[in-house]
Amino acid sequence: MKVTVKGQVTIPLPIREKLGITPNSEVDFVEEGERVYIRKILSSPSTGRFHRFRGAATVKMTTQEILSLTRGEA
């Protein structure tokens, strides 16, 4: 496997599948002597993929009002 000019390498598909590494996954490199290991960083609720949407709602409606709108109730 070659390293690009930018220092990038491609993680082989079987390893990505085994570790559950998908686009935008966070990984860490662990150095032990002459070896370097890659490990997936487990996302926490504060760093999960939906974290940026938390508290983003700006509508001043109750849950019941929203449900009535989505269900077509008048």
- pLDDT 10s digits, 12-27: 999 999 988 998 888 9
Supply the pLDDT for residue 61.
Answer: 83
User: In this structure, what token pair is assigned to residue 51?
Assistant: 């974290």
Amino acid at 4: T
Q: Domain limits of the chain? A: 9-44
Give residue 4's pLDDT. 95
Of the candidates 45, 39, 50, 42, the one whose C-alpha atom is nearest the C-alpha of residue 16 is 39
Contact predicate 42/26, CB 8 Å: no
pLDDT-flagged residues of the chain (< 70): 43-48, 56-57, 74
Q: Which residues have a Cβ under 8 Å from the Cβ of 59 and sit 6 or more positions away?
A: 66
